[in-house]
Amino acid sequence: EKTAETFEFQAEVGRVMDIIINSLYSDKDIFLRELVSNAADACDKKRFLSVTADGDSVDTTPPEIRIKADPDRQAVIIEDSGVGMTRDELINNLGRIAQSGTKNFMEALGDGTADVNLIGQFGVGFYSAYLVADKVEVVTKSMQAGSPQLKWESDSGSSFTISDAEDEDPIEGSGTRLILHIKDDAMQYLESGKLEELLQRYSEFIEFPLSLFKEETTYEKVPDVEANKDLAEGEEPKMKTVPKTVESYVTMNTQKPIWLRPPNDVTDEEYKEFYKAAFKSSYDEPQKWSHFRLEGQVDFKALLYVPGILPFELSKDMFDENSSNVRLYVKRVFINDKFEDIIPRWLKFVKAVVDSDDLPLNVSREILQKSKVLSIINKRLVRKSLDMFYDLAEDEDTSKYIMFWNNFGKYLKVGIIEDEKYKKDLVPLLRFFSSTSDEEYTSFDSYVSNMPEDQKSIYYVTGEGRKNAMQQPVIEKLTSRGYEVLLMTEPLDEITIEAIREYKGFNVVDATKEGLDLEDDEETKKEKEDLREKYSDVCEFLEVELKGMVQKVTVSTLLTGSPAALVQGAYGVSPTMQRYMKAQTV
Ligand code: ADP
Ligand code: MG
């Protein structure tokens, strides 16, 4: 006797379903990508557990994915032989939202700034089934020993049911079967031709055998009965070719994983498609990639990408912990994408696949942290990433680096602040506006090459925005001598530039700090002395008048057009920094 238990969806799930069901979103196609990617994840987990678990309950049916349209039932069926789900997992995984970033996504969906296409990145890809189905059944059997076959079912209302499903077609070993009851306005997905087109687009890089149930025509030779009627004694019987239609599962993905192939065998198109598939990034194209293999004391293959735009989840939080960027494999087995020590956090925006033969399959965070292999991989990933950035910076098409800088420049600044060992490599990649650069960025190299003979330091000022920074009175003095002044206008700029201190033998100097020494000759020194004498009474008077507001009042020769200026003491915290620190503590 079947007993179905009813559960309410968590409120957020209800919202997601509402948005999906009512969305006028036309690209319903993405449901297949999402559900196949879940099936592949489940196969990944199973493969991982099969090689690491030491019990005897381990199910050895090979992971694979099968897809079939069933027009008679008006259904599309997606089956995998992955890990499957227990009762608790059904409740937690298909009734609640685990990821914290999902709320952001929904807000963005609500106000129209995000696209349903991004759904997979926010841990709610499963619900895209409701783009094409009005009812979904999930029959599943977990690979945990003794797990029963269960069924989850929901017609997209506010609740779902879970029941025993021993009477459904049995699942061998473990796995999951999704039955999508297709809406009347989505009948095109009942054609295997349509499904095939989508699988070719989305699933070429799925690592497990993925097959589609479809008609295939084969040809065979049979005796030609008509023509053989008046066959003479001993004569060879005549044959004819006839078509034969069979329905069967046909493998859709025949390539081996892209990172295992020799680089000159892989086309640009394939690199781009793989990027989209592997990192669930269907909305941008990678700006650059690097595919290499390291041999020697450590053996590994890697494929690195610079994304085309700042990933959505990083636009709210630079180091969002749900945003994973390095997919680690050991001997082709996906281990996880959450090892933080594999790449420094200032490279959080780079996407990578790393496949190593030198790590144990049951590698844990603890083992990995201590392993020398990890630090070698880490160093190499940084080096290759820097190479990509330098390539972009040197590209004839300067718009490429500007785009890169606008997207990811802040990560390079964090690199300079946090990672002393790469400072030298990172500084030449920095770009700032300057007193003479107008709308263009300048680099330290171009700054230095434009310096007049007599200039002994690199000067910068800080300010909120370029206009504000340019209003610093000290700029007049420096520009009148033909010196360029870098403008530090972003919150991270000041800490970054303070970490640099010197470049190519020139000190990097805050032009607004007291005591800016512009190498005076004897005559000017004398002149200054006289001026100080002459105005000492005025200074004293002002110091008394402004008591508590300024530390001291001195005569300056730095101003040309302005009568007076407020500056900070040599050891003071600049106004920008004060504002930044304030912003951090609220
Ligand atoms: P995500 O894949 O980002 O976690 P989804 O909404 O696509 O988000 O899926 C939610 C969860 O449901 C998955 O994390 C997984 O635990 C579970 N799940 C979905 N499909 C399957 C499947 N075919 N086999 C096993 N578990 C699945
Ligand atoms: Mg998913």
Give the Å distances, CA to CA, from 262 to 51, 177, 257, 266, 517: 27, 36, 11, 7, 58
pLDDT of amino acid 575: 64
Q: What string of DSSP letters covers 16-47?
A: HHHHHHH-----TTHHHHHHHHHHHHHHHHHH
Looking at the CA of residue 82, tell me the nearest atom of ligand 1: 24
pLDDT of amino acid 255: 73
Token output for 398: 């300067």
pLDDT higher than 50, residue 585: no
Per-residue pLDDT reduced to its tens digit, 363-409 = 666 776 777 888 899 999 999 999 999 999 999 999 999 999 999 99
Q: State the distance from the centre of ligand 2 to the C-alpha of 35, rounded, in angstroms.
A: 7
User: Around ion ligand 2, which residues have CB less than 5 A away?
Assistant: 38, 125
123 carries a ligand binding annotation: yes
Token output for 92: 């937690």
Say what the pTM is.
0.72
Could you give the ipTM of this predicted complex? 0.99
Label residue 563 by pLDDT band (50, 70, 90): confident
Q: Is 313 in the pocket of ligand 1 (CB under 6 A)?
A: no
Per-residue pLDDT reduced to its tens digit, 495-546 = 999 999 999 999 999 998 755 666 566 677 788 888 888 888 998 999 899 8
pLDDT of amino acid 582: 60
Greatest alpha-carbon span in the chain: 137
Q: Is 97 in the pocket of ligand 1 (CB under 6 A)?
A: no
pLDDT higher than 90, residue 33: no
Label residue 232 by pLDDT band (50, 70, 90): confident
Give the Å distances, CA to CA, from 223 to 149, 218, 239, 243: 49, 17, 4, 14
Give the Å distances, CA to CA, from 7 to 15, 139, 163, 586: 16, 17, 11, 41
pLDDT above 90: percentage of residues in the chain? 50
Q: Which ligand lies nearest the alpha carbon of 37?
A: 2
Looking at the CA of residue 124, tell me the nearest atom of ligand 1: 6
Per-residue pLDDT reduced to its tens digit, 310-349 = 988 888 888 988 888 999 888 877 888 888 889 999 999 9
Q: Are 529 and 479 in contact (CB under 8 A)?
A: no
